[in-house]
Chains A and B, each alone.
Chain A
Amino acid sequence: QKEVEQNSGPLSVPEGAIASLNCTYSDRGSQSFFWYRQYSGKSPELIMFIYSNGDKEDGRFTAQLNKASQYVSLLIRDSQPSDSATYLCAVKTTRGGKLIFGQGTELSVKP
């Protein structure tokens, strides 16, 4: 089992729709969870982080965490073509505290 798994996609949504990106992790003791956005040919940039169960909202982005199910998600409301990118889920593990990334989900927002 991979430490961090994401749906590989690609995920295609129409402009204005809600995009839902999912991630599961194997280390039950993990405490910190991150979402990075990576445009094609660019480096990852941090867009959201969450530490507690529940929802955390920042503008059009909402991160959701369910530690019992070992599941974290990212919702993007009113998706825009500029949101088209690969979204990387990252988890800080209890084994030494290194940040482990999933394989990424490619999102395409169609005008």
Chain B
Amino acid sequence: DAGVTQSPTHLIKTRGQQVTLRCSPKSGHDTVSWYQQALGQGPQFIFQYYEEEERQRGNFPDRFSGHQFPNYSSELNVNALLLGDSALYLCASSFGEGEKLFFGIGTQLSVL
């Protein structure tokens, strides 16, 4: 039973570029949440997708957008990258209301 898979695991970009991160949820899960975790901080909620719709959104600018596909996988897109976007981006999946989250290993994004 595959857990939550994310790709890529590491990414280096320069300021102003755009990035797409990908996530496949754990088998049987239909809800995907994205979190940003800066070094030494707890995960910050970006948004949650359910039934291909953005259900909840945290306090992140519109440069952060996402998508969920019919097979429940999801993408996180970040436009016009800033140095401050450097962080670990975690995808978490759950079923339905999404209380018990299962996390992927994350994508470490470095913006130079």
Interface of A with B (CB < 8 Å)?
4, 6, 32, 34, 42-46, 49, 88, 92, 96-104
Among A42, A49, A88, A97, point to the contact of B42 (Cβ < 8 A): A88
* Contact of A49 with B56 in the complex, beta carbons under 8 Å: no
User: Of B98, B104, B106, which is within 8 A of A99 by CB?
Assistant: B98
**Complex: how many Å from CA A104 to CA B43?**
9
Tell me whether B99 and A44 are in contact (CB under 8 A). Answer: no
Q: Other than A44-B101, A99-B33, A99-B45, give 10 A-B pairs with Cβ distance below 8 A.
A: A43-B103, A43-B105, A44-B43, A88-B43, A92-B99, A97-B56, A99-B101, A101-B43, A103-B40, A104-B42
- On B, residues with C-beta under 8 Å from A are 33, 35, 40-45, 48, 55-56, 58, 90, 97-106
In the complex the two chains form, what is the Cα distance from A42 to B48 in whole Å?
21
Residues of A within 8 A of B102 (CB): 46
Secondary structure at chain B's binding surface: helix, strand, loop or mixed?
Answer: loop
Nearest B-chain residue to A100, judged by Cβ? B45
Task: Please state if B98 and A97 are interface contacts (CB–CB under 8 Å).
Answer: yes
Residues of A within 8 A of B58 (CB): 98
The residues of B that contact A102 with a CB separation of less than 8 Å are: 42
Give the distance in Å from the alpha carbon of A6 to the alpha carbon of B41 in the complex.
11
